[in-house]
Amino acid sequence: MANYPDGGMFGDVTKCPHEKLEQFVQMALEVTHVLHTTGPLCQNVPGLNATGAGVHAERSGLIKQLPGLRKMFLRAFPDCQQGELCELVASLRQVDQKIYDAINSGKPLRTCSSGLVAVGSLRPYWINWPLVQAPDVIVSEELLSTDV
Domain with 33 in it: 13-127
Number of domains into which the chain is organized: 1
In a domain, 141, yes or no: no
pLDDT digits (tens, 9 = 90+) for 60-84: 788 888 888 888 888 888 888 999 9
Question: Could you tell me the CATH number of the domain that includes residue 76?
Answer: 3.40.50.150
Alpha-carbon separation of residue 37 from 51, 82, 84, 94, 140 (angstroms): 27, 11, 6, 22, 24
In a domain, 36, yes or no: yes
The overall pTM is greater than 0.85: no
Amino acid identity at 33: H
pLDDT digits (tens, 9 = 90+) for 16-56: 667 777 777 777 778 888 888 887 666 667 666 666 677 77
In a domain, 2, yes or no: no
How far is Cα 111 from Cα 108, in angstroms, rounded to an integer? 10
In a domain, 31, yes or no: yes
For 48-104, where are the alpha helices, taking DSSP H only?
66-76, 94-103
